[in-house]
């Protein structure tokens, strides 16, 4: 009755494919390695640091990088390396949790706005516009004024500030995806809106969201620095890269290493997030594009 | 291989030297999965004023084959080899500057989707006049006047008013007419049309085909028409080349090829067309399987896997060469298909 | 079997006289950007019997695809009624609407776009089962998916592949498997073969015919390729600018088309036979298909019709029987019949 088509060997599972794609991308691999180190630092930092975060040694202040103090000492004689190591935890926390909040709130809002359109869309996006138009610092100050200073509140503040960006990206992607034929096909078989959003829309909008996530992580860490500068972020005695960077400003002439090393730490973290983000985005795309084939139109 | 004579028997043309002569054209692409051999030794001639149809499905290399003629294949990732003789020049070795003098001037190209070939932010008048001003140094007034002539020639009503319109203000059929007008503006000797009517309605297609035929009569240009539609071929072409996996597997005068197809693929294609009316078959013939992957072409006959006529393993190892089975009719197949049919 | 005499409907056709699908005065109007109304579908009526294939053919802008979408409520009908086995579909909501989707399925045109690139073939085919809770349990579901894949000519191992690994024809088979999952009564096929290569089109046409024979399916076959529609359909409806202009069994439509548009359409179809092509004289229509935004008064086709008369521009022709089993919406055709003229000579192969 029907024609039998020969298949060929079945490929590996989806997960294995994604993993191998990420690993194949050497830049992403590098980023992953750096992140692994950072994660390690965040977890065991305080235990393996050669000195305490606030161990002062006034006699040794402003020492440049040496064998004893790899990153030198600061104005209070504290070991910069240990401080950078110990601060990893706080900074990563801020980055991950605040972006997590932004994602967790912004993406659903954007998806609903994009999928349903109409009044819901207008209302939600106007709300996002209002939040977005607040200068980040002002908003953070406002939140902190209400809830008090501290790490948690700083994270909430940053999360709320970045929420509109995710909402906007999610909304734009959803608008593009909702008119795809496979979404129409899903409707035709009776899938509920919730199911369509979950299984058909969301997986197809992750790419731009992932990219934005890695960008936002970078900015979140930098925002924390600004907040710390105003005394609103991580509170002393907890060290934070942002604050170290801010504090180091004052000593840029005599002890540039006070700013350089925390700066490098931020740079390294941000870059790794970006690289991993790019790699993940590419790996998640099941389509293998070759020169000849693209979206059904073969050049030949 | 392809002869040089005019196809129609009623024509009393003398044998003239070919306008276009393609010799052993090969195009490869580097891809993630390996080297894709898209065009594998294409050789054919086109006589002045003749219409040659190139027929094939996706993956046959028919489009890449003509893009390569005018140096439109990006190298890298592509690599083009072979010779393309046109009006005394070998385009394959010509410089980019020389090629630009030929494109849009001596050779016109019309593509499938006129929307992507036309600049949406320029008026039709500007775009029509562009090649005139570029290649012939015409003034703005001269170019406009000629543009109006052309729009009229291709059957666009109120041409003077339409000069200032933008592409999106035209329908699909009209845009294709404009593309044709742009093509013939410089009186080219060759028009290459890559699936120009595939995206059009059948009634619009009929109009465009009629238009092209009229223009050919008037301007005497040769046409290379690429399509997958054997019906259009029957009404338009003098000679036909059937491509499969980057090679010509059958070529001949259109009557011969459609009336007496000798290659199993050509026969299969014709048999798979629905024929309404008295000749309706109870069940369509369907060529089983899929065309080969250009990255992994078989060593021998590319169609062997799907061939219903094969008797043995002969052609697994060597690519069958084109052989003449009737005057002007060549087939790349070792089997005598009609004889097999009779048994 | 050569020669096409009477259209055969499958032997399993029930003796029941009630049609399975009854569409009356279906209309789909869109509000155009700016002002005006786009009447994509403007009063379409037809019936389809169980086991039958009704072909709907027409060129771009005629509303055939919109008609199909409206049947599945993927586009909301502005007016009119659609009855499946006597049940009115137009007003259904919620659970009832979802239940309807088990009985009417769709095959889409673009095999590349109609499958979610992020889902495996197995997931795609199983989704209708999940949505409606059919064949519950992993094993049962997996067995049904395998069964469906085999039915459409794919090895069950395709289950783990992803759409981008399949060819156009294979993807279309997956689309068909998905449509069959809930054992629907009616399948609306919206241009199911136009995006496929010619040699693959024949494979899919044969597959659809086989499935119809085996499962007793009823098809609405929407396409612009009249030759394919003629091959697979029992009856054919020709649409122009939102209306059906002619409806007849496939033999009659081909041999004795009455509406000037049908005649022009038939004469425009290229045939792969040089003798035929040389001998024929085409009816080449002037101008383009007008936009459905501002249809002119009177017959929609009058502006391009080679046989239009003055009355045509004043009166909207209604789709009415010309003879038994042959409906036409044309004043001229009707008048010619009444006058005893034979239908105008048709130039078609």
Whether C163 maps to a domain, the answer reads yes
Q: Are residues C221 and C111 in the same domain?
A: yes
Query: Of B167, B185, B203, which marks where a domain is finished?
Result: B185
Answer yes or no: is pLDDT of B20 > 90: yes
CB contact under 8 A, B30 and A298: no
Residue of A nearest to B60 (CA): A300
Which tens digits make up the pLDDT trace of B207-246? 899 899 999 998 899 999 999 999 999 989 999 999 999 9
Query: Of C240, C273, C295, which marks where a domain is finished?
Result: C240
CB contact under 8 A, B64 and A288: no
| Alpha-carbon torsion (C143, C147, C149, C150), positive or negative | positive
Residue of A nearest to B32 (CA): A290
Could you tell me which of B158, B210, B212 has the C-alpha nearest to residue B180? B212
CB contacts < 8 A (B, C) = 140
Q: What is the DSSP letter of B250?
A: E
| Closest by Cβ to C282, choosing from B206, B285, B290 | B206
Whether B118 maps to a domain, the answer reads yes
Burial of A8 (0-12, 13-18, 19+ CB in 10 A): exposed
Domains of chain A: 31-286 (1.10.3720.10)
User: What's the rounded mean pLDDT across residues B56-80?
Assistant: 89
Whether B322 maps to a domain, the answer reads yes
Q: Which two tokens stand for residue C282?
A: 């085409």
CB contact under 8 A, C112 and A189: no
Contacts C274 to B, Cβ<8 Å = 234-235, 254-255, 258-259
Calculate how close chain A gets to B37, using CA atoms only, in Å. 10
Whether B225 maps to a domain, the answer reads no
Which tens digits make up the pLDDT trace of B293-335? 888 888 888 888 888 887 776 667 788 888 898 899 999 988 8
Q: Are residues C284 and C176 in the same domain?
A: no
Cα–Cα dist B180/B188, whole Å: 11
pLDDT band for position A38 (cuts 50, 70, 90):
confident
| Closest by Cβ to B31, choosing from A3, A5, A291 | A291
Q: How many domains does chain C have?
A: 2
Query: Of B146, B166, B185, which marks where a domain is finished?
Result: B185
Query: Of B121, B154, B185, which marks where a domain is finished?
Result: B185
Question: Choosing among C59, C166, C198, which should be mutated to test the B contact, i.e. which has the most B CBs within 10 A?
Answer: C198
Q: Which residue has the tokens 């044969």?
A: C206
CB contact under 8 A, B203 and C274: no
Say which residue, C328 or A291, is predicted with more confidence: C328
Contacts C209 to A, Cβ<8 Å = none
Contacts B308 to C, Cβ<8 Å = none
Query: What angle is formed at CA B109 by the lines to CA B107 and CA B110, rounded to 5 degrees?
Result: 150
Q: Which two tokens stand for residue A275?
A: 């690289």
CB contact under 8 A, C206 and B284: yes
Q: Are B7 and B254 in contact (CB under 8 A)?
A: yes
User: What's the rounded mean pLDDT across residues B134-159?
Assistant: 84
Q: Which two tokens stand for residue C84?
A: 């499946």
> Which CA distances in Å does A294 have to B35, B159, C22, C325?
17, 38, 41, 46
Q: Are residues C198 and C331 in the same domain?
A: no
Q: Are residues C126 and C32 in the same domain?
A: yes
CB contact under 8 A, A11 and C161: yes
Residues 6 or more apart whose CB falls under 8 angstroms from that of A269 comprise A34, A35, A38, A91, A92, A95, A217, A218, A221
Whether C132 maps to a domain, the answer reads yes
Instruction: Give B 40-69 residues with CB within 8 A of chain C.
Output: 57-58
The answer to whether residue C161 neighbours chain B at the CB level (below 8 Å) is: no
Torsion of CA A15, A16, A21, A23, to 10 degrees: 110
Q: Are residues C176 and C284 in the same domain?
A: no
Answer yes or no: is pLDDT of B4 > 70: no
For chain B, the first-to-last Cα distance in angstroms comes to 29
Determine the pLDDT at residue A268: 87
Cα–Cα dist A130/C118, whole Å: 35
CB contact under 8 A, C170 and A2: no
The answer to whether residue C276 neighbours chain B at the CB level (below 8 Å) is: yes
Q: Where are the beta strands (DSSP E) in chain B?
A: 20-31, 34-46, 51-55, 78-86, 89-90, 107-110, 190-194, 222-227, 239-244, 247-253, 323-326, 329-331
pLDDT band for position A297 (cuts 50, 70, 90):
very low
Q: Are residues C184 and C283 in the same domain?
A: no
- Give the domain range for residue C175: 21-240
Contacts C76 to A, Cβ<8 Å = none
Between A181-195, A227-241, B15-29, the lowest mean confidence (pLDDT) is in A227-241
CB contacts < 8 A (A, B) = 37
User: What's the rounded mean pLDDT across residues B81-106?
Assistant: 89
Q: Are residues C67 and C181 in the same domain?
A: yes
CB contact under 8 A, A291 and B58: no
Question: Choosing among C69, C93, C114, which should be mutated to test the A contact, i.e. which has the most A CBs within 10 A?
Answer: C114
Whether B81 maps to a domain, the answer reads no
Give this prediction's pTM: 0.84
Residue of A nearest to C183 (CA): A189
Calculate how close chain A gets to C341, using CA atoms only, in Å. 47
CB contact under 8 A, A300 and B286: no
Q: Are residues C193 and C297 in the same domain?
A: no
Q: Which residue has the tokens 């794609």?
A: A21
Question: What is the separation of C-alpha B88 from the centre of its chain, rounded to a whole number of angstroms?
Answer: 21
Q: Are residues C197 and C280 in the same domain?
A: no
| Closest by Cβ to B229, choosing from C254, C270, C273 | C270
Whether C221 maps to a domain, the answer reads yes
Calculate how close chain C gets to B170, using CA atoms only, in Å. 10
Calculate how close chain C gets to B231, using CA atoms only, in Å. 4
Cα–Cα dist B266/C242, whole Å: 38
Q: Which two tokens stand for residue B116?
A: 């992507």
| Closest by Cβ to B276, choosing from C60, C197, C231 | C231
CB contact under 8 A, C60 and B201: yes
CB contact under 8 A, A290 and B31: yes
Contacts B205 to C, Cβ<8 Å = 268, 270
Instruction: Give B 76-95 residues with CB within 8 A of chain C.
Output: none
Q: What is the CATH number of the domain that holds C225?
A: 3.40.50.300
Contacts B36 to A, Cβ<8 Å = 290-292
Calculate how close chain A gets to C1, using CA atoms only, in Å. 18
Q: Are residues C85 and C158 in the same domain?
A: yes
Calculate how close chain A gets to B9, using CA atoms only, in Å. 33
What one-character-per-residue DSSP string does A119-161 give?
HHHHHHHHHHHHHHHS-HHHHHHHHHHHH-SSHHHHHHHHHHH
| Closest by Cβ to A189, choosing from C131, C168, C170 | C131
- Give the domain range for residue B120: 113-185
Q: Where are the beta strands (DSSP E) in B197-322?
A: 222-227, 239-244, 247-253
Q: Are residues C145 and C216 in the same domain?
A: yes
Calculate how close chain A gets to B30, using CA atoms only, in Å. 8
The answer to whether residue C239 neighbours chain B at the CB level (below 8 Å) is: no
Contacts A290 to B, Cβ<8 Å = 31-33, 36
Whether C134 maps to a domain, the answer reads yes
Between strands C21-31 and C79-84, the pairing is: antiparallel
pLDDT tens over chain C, length 349 residues: 444 554 445 434 444 557 899 999 999 998 877 778 888 999 999 999 999 999 999 988 899 999 999 999 999 999 999 999 989 998 888 889 999 999 999 999 999 899 999 899 999 999 999 999 999 899 999 999 999 999 999 999 999 999 988 989 999 999 999 999 999 999 999 999 988 988 899 999 999 999 999 999 999 999 998 999 999 999 999 999 999 999 999 999 999 999 999 999 998 888 888 888 888 877 777 777 777 777 778 888 888 888 888 888 888 888 988 888 899 999 888 888 877 765 554 444 4
Could you tell me which of C346, C319, C162, C152 has the C-alpha nearest to residue C257? C346
- b/e for B56-81, b at 16 or more Cβ within 10 A? bbbbbbbbbbbbbbbbebeeeebebe
CB contact under 8 A, C277 and B290: no
Whether C247 maps to a domain, the answer reads no
Query: Of C211, C240, C269, which marks where a domain is finished?
Result: C240
CB contact under 8 A, A292 and B288: no
Contacts C92 to A, Cβ<8 Å = none
Determine the pLDDT at residue B251: 95
Question: Choosing among C112, C113, C190, which should be mutated to test the A contact, i.e. which has the most A CBs within 10 A?
Answer: C113
Which tens digits make up the pLDDT trace of A204-258? 898 889 888 888 887 787 777 777 767 777 777 788 887 888 788 888 888 888 8
Determine the pLDDT at residue C120: 93
CB contact under 8 A, A298 and B59: yes
Q: Is the peptide bond before B77 cis (omega within 30 degrees of 0)?
A: yes
Q: Are residues C117 and C258 in the same domain?
A: no
Determine the pLDDT at residue A22: 63
Answer yes or no: is pLDDT of B138 > 90: no
Whether C349 maps to a domain, the answer reads no
Determine the pLDDT at residue A9: 42
Residue of A nearest to C102 (CA): A189
Q: Are C160 and C168 in contact (CB under 8 A)?
A: no
Q: Find chains touching chain C: ≥3 CB pairs under 8 Å.
A: A, B
Query: Of C210, C240, C270, which marks where a domain is finished?
Result: C240
CB contact under 8 A, C4 and B255: no
CB contact under 8 A, B59 and A288: no
Contacts A288 to C, Cβ<8 Å = 164
Whether B190 maps to a domain, the answer reads no
User: What's the rounded mean pLDDT across residues A41-69?
Assistant: 83
CB contact under 8 A, B286 and C3: no
Q: How many domains does chain B have?
A: 2
Between A68-82, A218-232, A282-296, the lowest mean confidence (pLDDT) is in A282-296
């Amino acid at each position: 009755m029907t024609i039998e088509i020969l298949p060929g060997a079945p490929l590996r599972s989806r997960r294995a494919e994604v993993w191998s794609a990420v690993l194949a991308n050497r830049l992403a691999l590098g980023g992953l390695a750096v992140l692994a180190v950072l994660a390690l630092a965040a977890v065991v930092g305080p235990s393996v640091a050669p000195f305490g975060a606030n161990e002062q040694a006034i006699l040794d202040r402003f020492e440049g990088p040496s064998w004893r103090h790899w990153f030198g000492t600061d104005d209070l004689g504290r070991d910069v390396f240990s401080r950078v190591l110990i601060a990893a935890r706080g900074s990563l926390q801020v980055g991950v949790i605040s972006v997590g909040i932004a994602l967790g709130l912004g993406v659903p809002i954007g998806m609903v706005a994009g999928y349903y359109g109409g009044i819901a869309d207008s209302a939600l996006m106007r709300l996002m516009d209002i939040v977005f138009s607040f200068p980040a610092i002002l908003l953070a100050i406002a939140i902190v004024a209400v809830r008090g200073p501290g790490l948690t509140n700083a994270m909430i503040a940053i999360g709320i500030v970045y929420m509109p960006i995710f909402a906007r990206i999610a909304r734009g992607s959803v608008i593009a995806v909702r008119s795809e034929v496979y979404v129409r096909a899903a409707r035709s078989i009776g899938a509920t809106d919730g199911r369509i959003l979950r299984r058909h829309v969301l997986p197809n909008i992750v790419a731009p969201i992932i990219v934005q996530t890695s960008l936002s992580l970078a900015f979140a860490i930098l925002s924390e620095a600004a907040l710390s500068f105003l005394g609103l972020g991580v509170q002393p005695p907890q060290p934070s890269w942002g604050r170290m960077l801010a504090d180091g400003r004052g000593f840029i002439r005599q002890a540039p290493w006070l700013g350089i090393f925390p700066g490098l730490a931020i740079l390294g973290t941000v870059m790794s997030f970006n690289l991993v983000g790019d790699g993940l985005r590419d790996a998640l795309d099941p389509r293998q594009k070759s020169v000849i084939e693209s979206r059904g139109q073969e050049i030949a | 291989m392809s002869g040089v004579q005019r196809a129609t028997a009623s024509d009393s043309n003398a044998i003239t030297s070919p306008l276009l002569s393609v010799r052993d054209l090969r195009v490869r692409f580097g891809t993630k999965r390996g080297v894709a051999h898209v065009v594998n030794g294409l050789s054919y001639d086109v006589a002045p004023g003749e219409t040659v149809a190139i027929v094939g499905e996706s993956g046959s290399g028919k489009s890449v084959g003509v893009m390569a003629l005018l140096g439109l294949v990006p190298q890298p990732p592509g690599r083009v080899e072979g010779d393309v003789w046109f009006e005394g020049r070998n385009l394959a070795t010509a410089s980019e500057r020389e090629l630009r003098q030929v494109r849009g001037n001596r050779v016109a190209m019309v593509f499938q989707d006129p929307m992507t070939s036309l600049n949406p932010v320029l008026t039709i008048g500007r775009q029509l006049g562009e090649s005139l001003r570029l290649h012939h140094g015409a003034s703005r007034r001269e170019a406009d006047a000629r543009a109006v002539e052309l729009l009229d020639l291709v059957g666009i009503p109120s041409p003077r008013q339409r000069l200032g319109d933008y592409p999106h203000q035209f329908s699909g059929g009209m845009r294709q007419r404009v593309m044709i007008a742009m093509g013939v503006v410089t009186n080219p000797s060759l028009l290459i049309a890559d699936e120009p009517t595939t995206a059009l309605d059948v009634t619009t297609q009929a109009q465009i085909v009629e238009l092209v035929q009229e223009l050919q009569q008037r301007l005497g240009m040769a046409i290379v028409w690429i399509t997958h539609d054997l019906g259009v071929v029957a009404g338009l072409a003098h000679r036909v080349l059937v491509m499969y996996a980057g090679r010509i597997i059958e070529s001949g005068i259109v009557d011969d090829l459609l009336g007496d197809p000798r290659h199993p693929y050509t026969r299969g294609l014709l048999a798979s067309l629905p024929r309404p009316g008295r000749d309706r078959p109870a069940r369509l013939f369907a060529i089983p399987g899929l065309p080969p992957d250009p990255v992994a072409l078989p060593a021998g006959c590319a169609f062997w896997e799907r061939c219903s006529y094969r008797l043995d393993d002969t052609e697994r190892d060597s690519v069958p060469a084109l052989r003449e089975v009737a005057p002007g009719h060549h087939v790349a197949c070792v089997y005598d298909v009609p004889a097999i049919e009779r048994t | 079997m050569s020669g096409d005499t009477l259209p055969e409907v499958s032997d399993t056709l029930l003796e029941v006289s009630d049609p399975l699908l009854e569409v009356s005065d279906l209309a789909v109007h869109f509000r155009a950007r700016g002002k005006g109304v786009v009447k994509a579908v403007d009063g379409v009526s037809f019936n389809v019997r169980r086991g039958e294939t009704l072909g709907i053919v027409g060129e771009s802008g005629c509303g055939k695809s919109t008609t199909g979408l409206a049947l599945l409520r993927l586009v909301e009908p502005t007016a009119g009624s659609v009855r499946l086995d006597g049940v009115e579909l137009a007003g259904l909501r919620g659970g009832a609407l979802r239940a309807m989707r088990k009985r009417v399925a769709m095959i889409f045109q673009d095999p590349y776009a109609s499958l979610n690139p992020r889902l495996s073939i197995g997931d795609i085919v199983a989704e209708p089962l999940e949505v409606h809770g059919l064949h519950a349990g992993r094993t049962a579901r997996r067995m049904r998916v395998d069964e469906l894949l085999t039915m459409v000519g794919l090895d069950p191992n395709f289950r783990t592949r992803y759409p981008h690994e399949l060819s156009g024809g294979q993807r279309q088979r997956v689309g068909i498997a998905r449509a069959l999952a809930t054992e629907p009564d009616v399948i609306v096929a919206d241009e199911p073969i136009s995006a496929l290569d010619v040699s693959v089109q024949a494979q899919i046409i044969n597959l659809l015919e086989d499935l119809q024979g085996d499962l007793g399916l009823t098809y609405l076959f929407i396409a612009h390729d009249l030759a394919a529609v003629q091959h697979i359909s029992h009856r054919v409806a020709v649409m122009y600018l939102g209306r059906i202009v002619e409806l007849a069994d496939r033999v009659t439509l081909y041999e004795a088309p009455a509406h000037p548009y049908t005649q022009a359409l038939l004469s425009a179809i290229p045939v792969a036979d040089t003798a035929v092509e040389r001998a024929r004289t085409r009816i080449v229509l002037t101008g383009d298909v007008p936009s459905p935004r501002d249809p002119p008064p009177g017959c929609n086709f009058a502006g391009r019709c080679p046989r239009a008369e003055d009355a045509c521009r004043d009166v909207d022709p209604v789709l009415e029987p010309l003879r038994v089993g042959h409906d036409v919406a044309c004043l001229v055709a009707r008048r010619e019949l009444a006058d005893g003229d034979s239908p105008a000579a048709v130039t078609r192969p």
